[in-house]
Chain A
Amino acid sequence: MATARVQNIDSSRRAPQLEKSRTGISGFDEITRGGLPKGRPSIVCGGPGCGKTMFAVECLVRGATQFGEPGVLMTFEEPAEEMAKNVASLGFDLKDLMARKKLVMDYVHIEPAEIQETGSYDLEGLFVRLQYAVDSVGAKRVVLDTPEAIFSGFSNQGLLRAELRRLFRWLRERGLTTIITAERGEGVLTRHGLEEYVSDCVILLDHRVSEQVSTRRLRIVKYRGSSHGADEYPFLIDEQGFSVLPSSSMRLNHPVSRDRISTGVKDLDEMLEGKGLYRGSTALVSGTAGSGKSSLSAHFANRTCTDGKKCLYIAFEESPAQVVRNMRSIGIDLEAHVKKGLLVLEAWRPTQSGLEMHLLQIHKLIERHKPAVVIIDPITNLMGGDEHEIHAMLMRLIDFLKAQQITAFFTALTSGAHKEIEMTDVGISSLIDTWLFVRDVELNGERNRCIYVLKSRGMAHSNQVREFVMTDEGIRLLPVYVGGGTVLTGSARLNQEAHEMAEALQRKQNIEERRRSMEQRRKAVEAQIAALRADLADEEARANGNVAEEEERERRMTQHALEMANRRKGTSIEKRRGRIAGER
């Protein structure tokens, strides 16, 4: 199903496109991929108060002001004066546009009680009026606000149908981009079946109330010759006019960044490869109440603003002033960032409106402020209704943020029991890139916080459980001790730390001791070696001295004998020796 849809869109992108007229309505031109069919009539239908007229009028006003296409507004139910007043609340000044010849209004008033019918007639008067209005400003766009009202003024329904059909043909022949509003009937799109005559584009607006929260939705029922989003899109009407929340892009092709941004907590960055989050990724911090999720958010916001980037912080639990005050207690001055315009703090009650409205509001804030980082604290407050719906809506939001390379930082409040914590968020787990988990550990009469990285796509994150400590200089994440099947935190950790320090000291002392004794032993051995060497040298010297003496003595004796012989007049030594021998 999803793949088929993708193919459709792809092929239509390549094919020559139907010419379209941009409405200028935020979000609508995206889902229709360009706006309404140019030069053709379109129907906007829906129940009372669903915003049909607003849609049509905004399209007309934006056409006149933004796209240089003057318009004709022909109303069948509301006098021009009232209409001008009603849309003034959206910031549209119809009177000014009329004065500048960009808009003509004509109120077609039908008073059935005044009119009697005798014989055949037609609605040529309507055509004359329309033609006159179009000619007077050179209109390119026409809005017919509930022309079905004429059905109540005339009895000949067959003739009216024929005339309406002629009217739509007439509009098409003149190439007027037309919006016809129509009341929704029982089980049919429009009460009088106008959609049968206008087959180019039919838009259905809906206004639903579920659990006392109203949601407006828009659906393109048909759009001949063009692909379009087939979903129901939530929309909003506020002081800036109409805005439609485009659904998620059906393809996962958003740009991916390798840049990393710091979370503002050094120790947490350390756990994420020492670099922090990927830019444009989505991070979720979940934990029980009071586990420090908001503080983490504030750190991130602070860091983002300190780096000179814009941050949008949406708080669902606290007022902006309260957030500022509370974060000051952990040494973060958010107010300075707010004053500089880098931090946009917005807060509203989550019960105020439906999920779509929240997301639409968030969309609008993002479009207005263009932040680098969006923080929603906590996102779980949006989750009141159907799980499937929530999943779809969050996916839209996350896709939207990713497409714009906005880093998202959500917090989620989880309730109580440990086993269920990770289960409840499974619905959104697949959407999250980096998931941090803050959990309470109760031990020795203390409640301490531990944080760990449950997952972090695309990085070798730490698998450590760390103790989460809030100091007046912000958050520190300390290593915890794991032993005996429990994790030690708080004072138990301090004990353990002291204990280990003592042990370490002991070990250090032992080593020192051993080193010292070794040194002594070495010195002793060295001394012995030296003594032996000295002995040897001594002996050697003595031995050498004896040999020399002996030789000297031998030499001297020889010399002495020679001298003696000389004195005895030439007797050779041999003779003398022989004689000596003979004498004996």
Chain B
Amino acid sequence: MKASSGAASKKSAGDGNTPIIEMKLYVAGQTPKSLAALSNLNKICKEHLHGRYKLQVIDLVKKPQLAQTDQILAIPTLVRKLPVPIRKIIGDLSDLERVVLVLNFKENGGAK
């Protein structure tokens, strides 16, 4: 749940021709919404990305300065940094279908 644990959950895949998806999940403390978002995200990644992604979980209570630099307003916010364009999804990610659609996981290797 912490940023460090998020970094630990980061995995990389060896497949060179599919781009790696880079994501950041912004939360503020261990609120039910944050926990829900993280668990939903993990579920999606497991199902669609098969490890070809990087995820960083950022707790703004600990690193408030990042809220400004990354323009975070709503919590939780999931930001897909790569591939461009940047996409933001706010909310607890409970609509799994929609998250997959927005993040375009399928095109980026999920359908493989």
A interface residues, Cβ below 8 angstroms from B: 106, 108-110, 114-126, 128-129, 131-133, 150, 153-154
B26, B36, B64, B86 interface centre (most CB from chain A within 10 Å): B64
- Give the contacts of B60-103 with A (CB-CB under 8 A): 60-61, 64-65, 67-68, 71-77, 85-95, 98-99, 102
Q: Are B99 and A126 in contact (CB under 8 A)?
A: no
Tell me if B1 counts as interface (CB < 8 A to partner A). no
Q: Are A116 and B88 in contact (CB under 8 A)?
A: yes
Q: Are B91 and A132 in contact (CB under 8 A)?
A: no
Partner of B64, one of A116, A128, A153: A128
Q: What is the CA–CA distance of A118 and B36 in the complex, to the nearest angstrom? A: 12
Q: Are B28 and A128 in contact (CB under 8 A)?
A: yes
Q: Are B64 and A121 in contact (CB under 8 A)?
A: no
Q: Are B90 and A129 in contact (CB under 8 A)?
A: no
Residue of B nearest to A114 (CB): B88
Partner of A121, one of B40, B60, B74, B102: B74
Q: Are A114 and B90 in contact (CB under 8 A)?
A: no
Q: Are B65 and A132 in contact (CB under 8 A)?
A: yes
Query: Interface residues of A: mostly helix, strand, loop or mixed?
Result: mixed
Q: Are A125 and B92 in contact (CB under 8 A)?
A: no
Q: What is the CA–CA distance of A115 and B91 in the complex, to the nearest angstrom? A: 10
Q: Are A128 and B102 in contact (CB under 8 A)?
A: no
Q: Are A125 and B28 in contact (CB under 8 A)?
A: yes
A109, A124, A129, A150 interface centre (most CB from chain B within 10 Å): A124
Q: Are A128 and B60 in contact (CB under 8 A)?
A: yes
Rounded to whole Å, the gap between the CB of A475 and the closest CB of chain B is 70
Q: Are B87 and A123 in contact (CB under 8 A)?
A: no
Report 30 cross-chain contacts, Cβ distance below 8 Å, ordered by A residue.
A108-B71, A109-B71, A110-B73, A114-B88, A115-B89, A118-B90, A118-B93, A118-B94, A119-B36, A119-B37, A119-B92, A119-B93, A119-B95, A121-B33, A121-B90, A121-B92, A123-B75, A124-B28, A124-B31, A124-B60, A124-B75, A125-B26, A125-B28, A125-B67, A125-B77, A128-B61, A128-B72, A133-B68, A150-B73, A153-B73
Q: Are A120 and B92 in contact (CB under 8 A)?
A: yes
Q: Are A123 and B74 in contact (CB under 8 A)?
A: yes
Q: What is the CA–CA distance of A131 and B93 in the complex, to the nearest angstrom? A: 26
Partner of A114, one of B68, B86, B98: B86
Residue of A nearest to B99 (CB): A118
Given contacts A128-B61, A132-B68, contact A115 B88 (CB under 8 A): yes
Given contacts A118-B93, A119-B33, A119-B37, 19 further A-B contacts (CB under 8 A): A108-B71, A109-B71, A114-B85, A114-B87, A114-B88, A115-B74, A116-B87, A116-B90, A120-B33, A121-B90, A122-B75, A123-B73, A125-B67, A125-B73, A125-B74, A128-B72, A129-B72, A129-B73, A131-B64
Contact residues in B for A133 (Cβ distance below 8 Å): 68
